[in-house]
Structure 1
Amino acid sequence: MTEFETILIDTDERGIARLTLNRPDKHNALNARMIAELTKAADILGADESVRSVVLAGNGASFCAGGDLGWMREQRDKDRAGKMQESRALSAMFSALDALPKPLIGRVHGNAYGGGIGLMAVCDIVISVGTARFALTETRLGLIPATIGPFVVRRTGEGYARQFFFTAKPFDATFALRCGLVSTVTEAEQLDACVEAEIAEILKTRPGAVAAAKALCLELGGHSLSGLSERTAELLADRWESAEAAEGIEAFLAR
């Protein structure tokens, strides 16, 4: 197995792979290294015929705090070509996880913001503790949830997305359940049991049929996201170039 710096992969004898975000000191915030490694992990796990399902989890207090602020500052300082390259890489990561030909189960043990909500949106099933809190806080930084936008809106619908997409208003697990972002809300001590219950059902199925059924869901959903990747990458790069983003990121880092 490939060695990684920001994630961990462990596969048990049943073929259940645990893909763990492993930047606990940064609340598992996404940076360039993690984006690249998650994309690579999706390729590896997707091609491994012994893998039946993947559990996406996080180490430390949070599931994922979104984009690393230092990484965002780096994008602000790049030229347009550099901004577009990183925006495309971010979009490609979400697309790779979204298209993973295995059931992807999100194990949300703590808070998720920004890109963390994007990771939840590309999971097939999301199990969350009731104490978790969520928000898309990009507009507070002068940014927008561009590359995750198609996945989140597809998951929740436009009506729900309008309630938190641009207000940056935090919401709880009950609202996340109601809008479809979360599949099951449970107590912390029951989190792993709920994940195992989903795995038990998956292991009763045939992997080839599951992969085909997942592909069918993506097709029948009527949401072709491939054409949106370039557009959302452009929108994110636009915001990285804005004065609002420069001020918002610096203000947050100065706190």
Structure 2
Amino acid sequence: MELINYKVENRIAFITLSRAEKRNALNEEMVQQLKQAFYKAEKDKDVKIIVLEAEGDVFSAGADLAYLQQLQQNSAAENLADSHQLRELFAAIYFSQKITIAKVQGHAIAGGCGLITVCDFVFAAPEAQFGYTEVKIGFVPAIVALFLIRKIGEGKARDLLLSGRLITASEAKEFGLINYLVTKHQLAEEVRLFAEKLSNETSANSIAYTKDLIQKVQQMKSEEALVYAAETNAHIRSTEDFKKGVNSFLTKTKLKW
């Protein structure tokens, strides 16, 4: 059964959670299909932007109840293998060389909130709620914690991860979890326009290098990070995209990437 829909329009890959009758809850099959969809978009040379969206009124309610019950029957090795599947999915999104945008029309809870955490940009409807509720069922938001701390800082991450509370879209914006609040009926159009603008106005090569820089320098000591930044700065000057971009700037000609 296809739990994920995939389509490409105007260099934008739309990856859609398609399990609305189950509130787009995550199970093993859905995680696998979602991961494969991101791998596909990453390899597609005709794709510059990836939009993650969902059908129905809920973005994702987190783990499927039947899935959670099954985990209790798994061996330690099976649970470790399953955990690595989720790790690989989050990594595929976070470390993508392409810009990732989450379009959130409804609640994003637990694993569903994890999915948006690892995206570059998040657009959300005002009525959506967000939360990492794992501690309320005796679970640990282990994998997403790494990315959330990077995104919003330790203090705010502690608030959300330790309380398991739900927050409004407005509060999520204040926390830095989401970027833009857009009414539900305008959400699709606003995301499309934003994605097309980024696609047309930014170099895919520069985006890939910039995302790589953001990820790597956080793990380095200051001097090491500065050396790496200088090396990146020097290397990018020899690329074709840099030459095209500078020429466009100097000649005042509009460049569509």
Residue 98 (structure 1) aligned with residue 126 (structure 2): no
| Secondary structure of 1:89 counterpart | helix
Shift >3 Å, 4+ stretches: none
Specify the alignment match of 1:222 in structure 2.
219
State how far apart, in whole Å, the 2-side matches of 1:61 and 1:44 are: 26
TM-score normalised by L of structure 1: 0.82
Specify the alignment match of 1:52 in structure 2.
48
Residue 212 (structure 1) aligned with residue 218 (structure 2): no
Matching of residues 197-208 of structure 1 within 5 Å: 197-203=193-199, 204-208=201-205
Residue identity in the other structure for 2:208 = A
Matching of residues 123-162 of structure 1 within 5 Å: 123-162=119-158
Higher helix share: 2
| Secondary structure of 1:166 counterpart | helix
Residue identity in the other structure for 2:3 = T
Specify the alignment match of 2:2 in structure 1.
5
State how far apart, in whole Å, the 1-side matches of 2:166 and 2:64 are: 19
What is the CA-CA distance between 1:64 and the residue it aligns to? Answer: 0.8
Kept after mapping to 1: 8 A contact 2:141/2:161: yes
TM-score normalised by L of structure 2: 0.82
Residue 193 (structure 1) aligned with residue 200 (structure 2): no
Residue identity in the other structure for 2:14 = R
Specify the alignment match of 1:176 in structure 2.
172
Kept after mapping to 2: 8 A contact 1:103/1:124: yes
Q: What fraction of aligned residue pairs are identical, expressed as a percent?
A: 31
Question: Considering only aligned residues, what root-mean-square deviation do their CA atoms show, in Å?
Answer: 1.4
Greater RCO, CA 8 A, separation 6+: 1
Unpaired segments ≥5 residues, structure 2: 221-257
What is the CA-CA distance between 1:159 and the residue it aligns to? Answer: 0.8
Question: Which stretch of the first structure deviates more once superposed, 211-220 or 60-69?
Answer: 211-220
Specify the alignment match of 2:246 in structure 1.
none
Specify the alignment match of 1:28 in structure 2.
24
What is the CA-CA distance between 1:190 and the residue it aligns to? Answer: 2.0
Kept after mapping to 2: 8 A contact 1:144/1:166: no
Kept after mapping to 1: 8 A contact 2:145/2:157: no
Residue 113 (structure 1) aligned with residue 77 (structure 2): no
What is the CA-CA distance between 1:170 and the residue it aligns to? Answer: 1.0
Measured against aligned partners, the alpha-carbon deviations of 1:110-163 in whole angstroms (never above 9, x if no partner) come to 001001111111100000011101121111111111121111221111111121
When residues 146 and 195 of structure 1 are mapped into structure 2, their CA distance, relative to the original with a 3 A threshold, is: same
Higher Rg: 2
- The aligned length equals 219
What is the CA-CA distance between 1:196 and the residue it aligns to? Answer: 2.5
